[in-house]
Amino acid sequence: MPAIFKGMSITLSHFFKKEVTIQYPEAKREFSDIYRGMHVLKLDDEGRERCTACGLCALSCPAEAITMIAAERKEDELHLYREEKYASVYEINMLRCIFCGDCETACPKEAIFLTPRIVPSEYKRGSFVYGKDFLVEKKDERIDISKRQTPEVLSFKKDKTKLHNKSFTI
Convert the pLDDT of each residue in 27-59 to its tens digit.
Answer: 888 888 788 889 999 988 888 888 889 999 999
pLDDT of residue 69: 93
Question: Is 163 within the bounds of a domain?
Answer: no
pTM for this structure?
0.72
Question: Residue 112 burial by CB count (10 A; 0-12/13-18/19+): exposed, middle or buried?
Answer: buried
Question: Is 67 within the bounds of a domain?
Answer: yes
Range(s) of the domain holding residue 132: 31-158
Question: Is 6 within the bounds of a domain?
Answer: no
Q: How many domains does the chain have?
A: 1
DSSP state of 34: T
Q: What is the CATH number of the domain that holds 114?
A: 3.30.70.3270
Q: For residue 154, which of 100, 110, 88 has the smallest C-alpha distance? A: 110
Q: At 163, is the pLDDT very low, low, confident or very high (cuts 50, 70, 90)?
A: low
Residue range 14-34: average pLDDT? 81
Phi, psi at residue 104, to the nearest 5°?
-65, -45
Alpha carbon distance 34, 91 (integer Å): 23
Question: Is 169 within the bounds of a domain?
Answer: no
Question: Is 165 within the bounds of a domain?
Answer: no
Q: Which of 55-69, 111-125, 156-170 has the lowest mean pLDDT?
A: 156-170
Note the pLDDT tens digit of each residue in 122-135.
888 888 999 999 99
Coil, strand or helix at 128: helix
